[in-house]
Amino acid sequence: MKLSEDRDVLNQQISFILYITICWSFLQQAIAHPGGLDTSGGHYNRSTSVYHCHSASCSDLSGDAAASNTVIKRYSRKDWKHWIDEDGDCQNTRAEVLISRSKEKVEFATSRGCRVVKGSWIGGLTGILLSNASDVDIDHVIPLSYAHRHGGSSWSPSKKERFANDPLNLLPAYDLENRRKSDKGPSKYLPSDKNLACAYIKRWQAIGVKYGLNIASDDMDIIRDVLDTVPAESFC
């Protein structure tokens, strides 16, 4: 009887030690990598401000390279200087895109002609007709944070600025839809309209090639799938 009781006590102690060990292991992981994974499969370590990739989709490397060893400096939107007024005419990049893409003559907030308030734009992500500039976001087709995670983190400030203001990468979009897109790649977001999706994918691919970005493998799969279904005579 005594032997049986001793065995039960020993088993309880072993179970308790295993439980503590498992809990401690999870706690260490939580401390080492605070926060969950974002939509790209990585996260920032809040204590070091360093971005860690945990999947190939957010890797700063090309192809299917193992992402677990990829470490990227924390993304900051202010490092990607956008909405500049390059020619000094008081119209920044946003205003110039609104002017050039409007289907009719735009209206300005004042006689100086700096800030656009009215026009006619086809939302590039939805096809919705928009007339109030306040409803229009200028979408970065390849989001700045995506570019940062896929090769852009090491770019010079001038190249980041060029990318952030490149008309090829800018698309008037319905603001609510643009926020739904957020910083997702094509594997996680595409316009629901097939023609818009086709045009969007073609533009995404052109931008990626122009700037030498390392597009994630799952996004490249979607790009190929979409383009493979496009008829040769299509002008999407």
- Judging by DSSP bridges, how do beta strands 71-73 and 42-45 pair with one another? unpaired
For residue 40, what pLDDT is reported?
55
Q: Which of 51-60, 181-190, 225-234 has the lowest average pLDDT?
A: 51-60
Q: Does a structural domain hold residue 206? A: yes
State how many domains the chain has: 2
Residues 28, 78: one domain? no
Question: What confidence tens digit (pLDDT) does each residue in 70-111 have?
Answer: 567 899 999 999 999 999 999 999 999 999 999 999 999 999
Query: With pLDDT > 70 as the criterion, what percentage of the chain qualifies?
Result: 67
Residues 135, 212: one domain? yes
For residue 230, what pLDDT is reported?
73
Q: Does a structural domain hold residue 5? A: yes
Distance CA 131, CA 122 (A): 9
DSSP letter assigned to residue 75:
P
Q: Does a structural domain hold residue 84? A: yes
Backbone phi and psi for residue 82, each to the nearest 5 degrees, phi listed first: -130, 170
CB atoms within 10 A of CB 135: 15
CB of 109 closer than 8 Å to CB of 115: yes
Q: Does a structural domain hold residue 119? A: yes
pLDDT at 160 over 70: yes
CB of 139 closer than 8 Å to CB of 204: no
Collapsing DSSP to helix, strand or coil, 161 comes out as: helix
Residues 92, 22: one domain? no
Mean pLDDT throughout 12-27? 52
Residue 112 belongs to domain spanning: 73-228
Q: Does a structural domain hold residue 127? A: yes
Residues 26, 79: one domain? no
Give the position of tokens 């990468």. Answer: 169
Collapsing DSSP to helix, strand or coil, 97 comes out as: helix
Residues 107, 213: one domain? yes
pTM of the shown model: 0.73
Question: What confidence tens digit (pLDDT) does each residue in 20-66 have?
Answer: 544 544 444 444 455 566 655 666 555 544 555 655 555 444 333 33
CB of 58 closer than 8 Å to CB of 67: yes
For residue 138, what pLDDT is reported?
98
